[in-house]
Amino acid sequence: MTINKEKIAEIFEKISELLEIKGDNIFKIRAYLNASRVISQFPGNIEDAVLKGELSKIPGIGKDLASKIEELVKTGRLIYYEELKKSVPEGIFELLKLRGLGPKKTKILYEKLGIKNIADLKTALEDNKLLYLDGFGEKTVSNLIESIKEYNNFKERYLYPEAQLEANLIISYLLEAGGSLISNIEIAGSLRRKLETVGDIDIVVASKSKKYENIKTVSSAIAEVFLKYDKIAHVESNGDTKISIVLENGMRVDLRLVPPEDYIYALHHFTGSKLHNEELRSREKKRGYKINEYGIYNAEHNKIAAADENEFYNVFNMQFIPPELREGTGEIEEALKHDIPELINIKDIRGVFHVHTSYTDGKESLEEMVKTALEWGFEYIGITDHSVSAFYAHGLSADELNSEIEYIDRLNKRYEGKITILKGIESDILENGDLDYGNETLSKLDFVIASVHSRFNMHKEDMTARIIKAIKNPYTTMLGHLTGRLLLERKEYEVDISAVIDALSEYKTIVELNANPKRLDIDWRYIKEAISKSVMLSINPDAHNKKGFDVIEYGVNAARKGWTTKNDVLNTYSIDEVLNKIKTIREYKLNKTI
């Protein structure tokens, strides 16, 4: 089993947390925490460093830590970590996931009140027991109550990439181990509709046999193969047409077994959404049709053949509806009019903005990120390291930014004719709505992303006014991650999104669709509104390393769910068109403020 540096860093961070809860030596705790940071930022391949015996050359990695890294890389596990986990109640890890509850406070709860899990904490909160502990004032208690509610909402869901990976692994396994039995197989459910988070995985599989007796035999054989999958924790149900299992990571999977002649109808039905299916059934029932997972039936109860989903929708004189749009948000009406637009595709992306480098908190050098953009075939890359207020990310002073600008100018000469490097910054929006550089500094840049990174607890009206003031700034080209949310970790701050969209429209400012799968912000549910008000999007990776470019796929997914065409997205245009658009935004706002 291979293990990457991100996983090693995560394990070391958890070790530091466990050691702190156990009251271990502070220097030992800091050593693991520092090692976690060093490993996550290590620019090379950790496996190569192990094979070459070069771990000890990494600053902060001593002999003991190096041996643990080597054990992880070679075996995929760390016995020390596994033993350490056994020494504390399992629910402690659950507690550490709560917002506002770090190792120190968890240690106090465990030692003083015997709290071992979230259920214990909830009971203690209800009995007002925490108010008698040092460091647990009314505000902390109130935040913990809210954090438990958030956790309960989040814990049964998974980010799209996690579920996508598991589903692809299962399909690959089934095709390898039982491909001769399978005629069709496809992901269904919310995962096929590319929702940002999913509760479970749905897979529809059709057997190859066409004779009824053989279908049952073949389906049983497919089921037998499926139940041998080595990541299954337990089987919840095992029927003739549906098998429900739970994976070792807690994710639930439903496998639907259907005969080949029912496959298209089952795929449509189990793709959903419920609203889409109900609306379609209700409308067509009035016209004499019956639609279910087994077929489409006319008024005479005859089954209507459909070889694929294009033919499925054509039965009702509808345009094909992409799975991403099947959310009951007007797609049926548009399909009847054949007005569903051609949605953006990842191949339409011609360049990227929102890229961090080792100048601040990025893991790769600026030139390495440029080379990666070239490997992707991009025409341009917009560098946006953190601004001066972002002390947590080693934000650039005005002088340091000038140095980076000069370096980009030199790189542009070196890479002339291959790629254009745009000079940008991710500027913090201060509490009063100002950006954290003066206009003289901002005017040296090609573009500016303005983002909120602090004071998330402002009142809705104040946060809205703060963001709108930043939008009005003539040097703000685009607004970064609109709501500040981290999916399944941190809810969005309170803001009037429609009012912000109106301001973006009035000041011709671009809104970022942050493609990081933990953000996907602006939420796809507001994209249609933004586009209707002529607000342009930019699908940005928010990349902090070379792998960070991979997330563009998830941004495109979200854009498609928001009915986005390539004409609605800044980075589908050529470099000349992009430069003209961002220049026009600045000139428009400068003239507007005169």
| DSSP E strand boundaries for 95-241 | 158-159, 182-188, 197-198, 200-207, 232-238
Q: In which band, very low, low, confident or very high, does the pLDDT at 210 lie, cut at 50, 70 and 90?
A: low
Q: Where among 267, 288, 321 does a domain terminate? A: 267
- Which residues span the domain enclosing 330? 272-336
Q: What is the mean pLDDT of the chain?
A: 92
Whole-number Å distance between alpha carbons of 436 and 429 = 7
> Is the residue at 513 inside a domain?
yes
Residue after which a domain boundary falls, among 267, 286, 302: 267
The whole-number pLDDT of residue 479 equals 98
Asked whether the beta carbons of 385 and 358 are under 8 A apart, the reply is no
Average pLDDT over residues 39-68: 82
Greater model confidence, 100 or 191: 191
Residue 536 lies in a domain: yes
Query: Phi and psi of 29, rounded to 5°?
Result: -60, -45
Is residue 247 a contact partner of residue 302, using CB atoms and an 8 Å limit? Answer: no
Place of tokens 């070889």: 307
Q: Report d(CA 240, CA 51) in Å as an integer.
A: 49
Query: Could you tell me if 509 and 571 lie in one domain?
Result: yes
Q: What is the pLDDT of residue 154?
A: 67
Q: What is the CA radius of gyration of the chain?
A: 27
Q: Lowest-confidence range among 120-129, 421-430, 574-583?
A: 120-129
CATH number, domain at 55? 1.10.150.110
| Surface-to-core class of residue 36, CB atoms within 10 Å of its CB (0-12 exposed, 13-18 middle, 19+ buried) | buried
Residue 158 has pLDDT above 80, yes or no: yes
**Which region among 2-11, 105-114, 190-199, 466-475 has the lowest average model confidence (pLDDT)?**
2-11
Q: 116-146 burial string, b = 16+ CB within 10 Å, else e?
A: bebebbbebbeeebbeebeebeeebbebbee
- Counting the structural domains of the chain, the total is 4
Examine the domain organization and report whether 486 and 360 are in the same domain: yes
* pLDDT tens, position by position, 357-407: 999 999 899 999 999 999 999 999 999 999 999 988 889 999 999 999 999
State mean pLDDT over 147-159.
Answer: 79
Q: Return the CATH number at 380.
A: 3.20.20.140
Query: pLDDT value at position 212?
Result: 53
CATH at residue 317? 3.30.210.10
Write down the pLDDT at residue 119: 87
What's the longest Cα–Cα distance across the chain?
Answer: 80
Q: Looking at residue 489, what is its pLDDT?
A: 81
What CATH number did the domain enclosing 256 receive? 3.30.460.10
Give bridge partners of residue 478 from the DSSP assignment: 449, 510
Does residue 365 sit in the same domain as residue 255? no
Reported confidence tier of residue 1, pLDDT bands at 50, 70, 90: very low
In the prediction, which pLDDT does 45 show?
Answer: 76
- Beta strands 242-247; 232-238: pairing state: antiparallel
Whole-angstrom distance, CA of residue 109 vs CA of residue 21? 10
- DSSP string computed for 547-567: GGGGGHHHHHHHHHHTT--GG
| Residue 164: predicted pLDDT | 97
Residue type, 460: K
Q: 246 with 329, same domain?
A: no
> Sorting pLDDT into bands at 50, 70 and 90, what band is 211?
low
Check if the beta carbon of residue 470 is closer than 8 Å to that of residue 454.
Answer: no
Q: Which two tokens stand for residue 168?
A: 């692809």
The 10 Å Cβ neighbour count of residue 112 is 15
The answer to whether the CB of 509 falls within 8 A of the CB of 537 is no
pLDDT at 33: 87
| 315 and 412 part of one domain | no
Residue 100 has pLDDT above 80, yes or no: no
Instruction: Judge whether 469 and 433 are in contact, CB under 8 Å.
Output: yes
261 and 365 fall within a common domain: no
Structure tokens at 178: 């039982």
Q: Quick one: 242 and 284 in the same domain?
A: no
Calculate the CA 295 to chain-centre distance. 35
Q: pLDDT (tens digit, 9 = 90+) per residue, 300-358?
A: 999 999 999 999 999 999 999 999 999 999 999 999 999 999 999 999 999 999 999 99
> Most confidently modeled of 10-14, 27-31, 182-186, 486-490?
182-186
Q: Does residue 474 share a domain with residue 527? A: yes
- With a cut of 90, say whether residue 152 has pLDDT above it: no
Q: In the prediction, which pLDDT does 422 show?
A: 98
Helices (H) and strands (E) in the chain, counts: 24, 17
- The pair of three-digit structure tokens given for residue 92, joined into one six-digit string: 């402690």
